[in-house]
Amino acid sequence: YEGSDLFELVAPPRFALTVLRVKLPKEKREKTTAHLGTSKAGTTETKVDEGLASNDVFPLPSGADKGPHTDMLTRANAVTKEVYESINASGDIFLTSTMIKNCYAIRVVGANEQTDEQHLRKAFEILAGTTKEILRKLERQAEPE
């Protein structure tokens, strides 16, 4: 879908829940391997997925020990939170948010017997459109005058 490159999964989708964050334009992430545990047959199950894995931790350095990783996480958290708050303020759709291992994330739930594909596509259009608007605004603010 157009705009899907704007987001990164923070947790694997479960039932009708998708947990994501805004991926900053210059931010690149490698595929992450997550150890999912041991199966009933005694074999190790591993899943390779785009985005953040369940064992991917975002440690925040204490005090003045702030590096580029912390700055990137802080910026991504701020942008994701702004997208979340902007969408909820509009009243078009309702989202919830969460923090997972120091990562601010948006929770999108499509579990309602009245929800169909058209509703989910519209929700994604709102999410992608709002994200693009906010990223453009931030780019304009960062440009030298």
Q: For 82-129, what is each residue's pLDDT tens digit?
A: 999 999 999 999 999 999 989 999 999 988 888 889 999 999 999 999
For residues 32 and 82, what is the distance between their CA atoms, to the nearest angstrom?
Answer: 26
pLDDT, residue 107, reads 96
Residue 80 clears pLDDT 60, i.e. is over it: yes
- Encode pLDDT of 22-64 as tens digits: 998 765 443 333 333 444 455 443 343 444 443 344 444 444 3
Residue 79: both structure tokens together: 């942008």
More confident position, 138 or 43: 138
What does the block give as tokens for 60? 């925040």
Q: pTM above 0.85?
A: no
